[in-house]
């Protein structure tokens, strides 16, 4: 199509790719909303110790089951009189902590394995079988096992989730590597005398970066939800430290009396996951060089 392939003249102003991506991102109102929500969440989590109105573990039985809007408790209190808002803020902290740790683990292991699987046909068979193995392994059994060996904690929950995400990362990185490997600029490097590490590090990895980034932004909410599930089952963060998941599980028992104690953390999880997903989608669209038509 003549129009879409229109080439840029050498004389036009240098519009760096990064700037173009940011421009595209900011033009999308949904993306902006998502980014705003993420910004708020991150700030709340990072500055929770200073911003939170109350201590998250501070019980106050006299104020138990206070509804939202009660003086001093914007989102109400739970069965032990603990401030829901403060607990959510600290819970966010835990959730983001897990999310980032889990994704970091999965990337640290998955990206190199994916690169090697895509690049070296001999190793591909081996790595693919390993991926199938991990995929087949029930995630919860893995988490339970880990908790049994090393004790239930936030960190171990993160590791369990990270391991469960490795196959997804491998698959994506592998297919991107396969695609890039067949491009002429990789062949050109080989003909110039580049060795495999050079090609992988200098040509393939940087070009796979955008795919990896998008994958990460979408994997984080999955990890957060995973943590919610694990903590719900008692395999993650230990009480009285709050996590969005434990708040949900605790609130089960008194949901009729204080629905806000379940709804609020639930909403928080949902909004956070949604924001990450939206930003991830928008980032993927913005990074796609072919999507330059509205």
Of 74-82, 188-196, 245-253, 260-268, the window that binds another protein (rule: CB under 8 A) is 188-196
- Nearest one of 99, 92, 89, 94 to 50, comparing CA atoms: 89
Q: Cα–Cα distance between 198 and 281 in angstroms, integer?
A: 31
Using CA atoms in the order 143, 148, 153, 158, what is the torsion angle rounded to 10 degrees?
-30
The one among 9, 61, 62, 149 contacting another protein by CB under 8 A: 9
Query: What are phi and psi for residue 70, nearest 5 degrees?
Result: -60, 145
What character string, x for contact with another protein (CB under 8 A) and - otherwise, covers 234-273? ----------------------------------------
Shortest CB 272 distance to another protein, Å: 30
Q: Per the structure block, which two tokens stand in for 4?
A: 């879409």
The one among 21, 100, 189, 233 contacting another protein by CB under 8 A: 189
Q: Per the structure block, which two tokens stand in for 169?
A: 């990362």
Interaction between residue 293 and another protein (CB under 8 A): yes
Helix/strand/coil for 72: coil
Helix/strand/coil for 113: helix
Helix/strand/coil for 267: helix
Q: Which is nearer to another protein, 15 or 252 (CB)?
A: 15
Interaction between residue 290 and another protein (CB under 8 A): no
Q: Which is nearer to another protein, 29 or 195 (CB)?
A: 195
Of 5-13, 41-49, 229-237, 267-275, the window that binds another protein (rule: CB under 8 A) is 5-13
Shortest CB 20 distance to another protein, Å: 9
Judge contact between 26 and 32, C-beta under 8 A: yes
Spacing of C-alpha 240 from chain mean position: 25
Interaction between residue 198 and another protein (CB under 8 A): yes
Spacing of C-alpha 63 from chain mean position: 36
Interaction between residue 1 and another protein (CB under 8 A): yes
Q: Cα–Cα distance between 245 and 224 in angstroms, integer?
A: 9
Q: How many residues does the chain have?
A: 294
The one among 43, 187, 239, 257 contacting another protein by CB under 8 A: 187
Interaction between residue 87 and another protein (CB under 8 A): no
Judge contact between 37 and 272, C-beta under 8 A: yes
Interaction between residue 181 and another protein (CB under 8 A): no
Interaction between residue 121 and another protein (CB under 8 A): no
Kindly identify the residues of this chain, within the stretch 13-32, that bind another protein according to CB under 8 A.
Answer: 14-17, 24
Of 87-95, 103-111, 192-200, 218-226, the window that binds another protein (rule: CB under 8 A) is 192-200
245: burial class by Cβ within 10 Å (0-12, 13-18, 19+)? buried
Interaction between residue 194 and another protein (CB under 8 A): yes
Residues near another protein, by CB under 8 A: 1-3, 5-10, 12, 14-17, 24, 183-185, 187-195, 198, 203, 206-207, 289, 292-294
């Amino acid at each position: 199509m003549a129009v879409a392939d229109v080439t840029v003249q050498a004389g036009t102003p240098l519009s760096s790719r990064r700037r173009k991506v940011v421009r595209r991102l900011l033009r999308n109102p949904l993306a902006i909303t998502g980014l705003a929500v993420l910004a708020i969440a991150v700030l709340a989590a990072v500055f929770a110790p200073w911003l939170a109105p109350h201590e998250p573990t501070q019980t106050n039985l006299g104020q138990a089951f206070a509804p939202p809007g009660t003086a001093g408790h914007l989102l109400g209190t739970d069965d032990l009189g603990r401030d829901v808002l403060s607990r959510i803020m600290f819970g966010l902290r835990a959730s983001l902590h897990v999310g980032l740790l889990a994704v970091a683990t999965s990337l640290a292991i998955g990206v190199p394995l994916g690169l090697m699987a895509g690049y070296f046909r001999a190793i591909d068979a081996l790595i693919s079988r390993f991926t199938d193995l991990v995929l087949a392994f029930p995630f919860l059994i893995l988490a339970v096992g880990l908790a049994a060996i090393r004790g239930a904690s936030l960190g171990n929950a993160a590791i369990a989730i990270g391991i469960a995400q490795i196959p997804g990362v491998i698959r994506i990185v592998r297919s991107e590597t396969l695609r890039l490997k067949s491009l002429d600029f990789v062949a050109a490097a080989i003909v110039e005398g580049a060795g495999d590490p050079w090609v992988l590090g200098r040509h393939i990895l940087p070009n796979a970066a955008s795919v990896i980034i998008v994958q990460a932004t979408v994997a984080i909410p999955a990890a957060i939800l995973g943590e919610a599930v694990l903590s719900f089952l008692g395999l993650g963060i230990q009480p009285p430290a709050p996590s969005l998941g434990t708040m949900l599980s605790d609130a089960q028992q008194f949901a009729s009396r204080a629905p806000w104690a379940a709804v609020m953390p639930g909403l928080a999880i949902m909004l956070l996951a949604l924001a990450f997903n939206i930003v991830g989608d928008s980032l993927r669209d913005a990074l796609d060089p072919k999507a330059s038509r509205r």
